[in-house]
């Protein structure tokens, strides 16, 4: 069994970060009047999820171990193309996002596992 010693500074930092997190997340509940955001901020926040997803997915799509893909015969590219095609076709429907994931994986997995791309 491994014993890990924690010094006072570490505990103080953990307690401080916990307090800061609780305080910042609960400020909205302390106010007696409703909070409103400007229209420009609400519009900008609509793009936050897709921006975060792009920041995670795009580097994984075009790079492998820090190097750009050496060939276009990569299962990830075809999976993204299939998922994108599904989304463009059904983007107004309730199943658009789930269908995008399923379509992409239905193309990616056979190419990756079956052909070894």
Which whole number is the average pLDDT over 58-84? 84
70: in domain: yes
Predicted TM-score (pTM) of this structure? 0.55
**Residue 2: pLDDT above 70?**
no
33: in domain: no
Q: Which residue has the higher pLDDT, 78 or 60?
A: 78
Using one digit for the tens of pLDDT, what is the confidence trace for 75-99?
888 999 999 999 999 988 888 889 9
72: in domain: yes
pLDDT at 81: 92
Structure tokens at 40: 């420009």
Calculate the average pLDDT of the chain. 86
Sign of CA dihedral 46, 49, 55, 61: negative
31: in domain: no
Contact 57, 76 (CB under 8 A): no
Which whole number is the average pLDDT over 28-57? 85
104: in domain: yes
Contact 78, 107 (CB under 8 A): yes
Q: Is 68 helix (H, G, I), strand (E, B) or coil?
A: strand
25: in domain: no
């Amino acid at each position: 069994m491994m014993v890990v010693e924690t010094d006072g500074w570490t505990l103080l930092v953990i307690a401080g970060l916990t307090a800061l997190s609780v305080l910042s997340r609960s400020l909205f509940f302390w106010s007696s009047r409703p909070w409103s955001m400007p229209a420009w901020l609400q519009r900008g926040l609509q793009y936050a999820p897709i921006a975060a997803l792009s920041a995670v997915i795009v580097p994984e799509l075009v790079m492998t171990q820090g190097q750009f893909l050496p060939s276009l015969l990569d299962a990830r590219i075809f999976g993204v193309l299939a998922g994108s095609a599904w989304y463009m076709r059904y983007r107004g429907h309730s199943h658009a996002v789930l269908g995008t994931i399923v379509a992409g994986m239905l193309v990616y997995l056979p190419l990756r596992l079956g052909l070894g791309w």
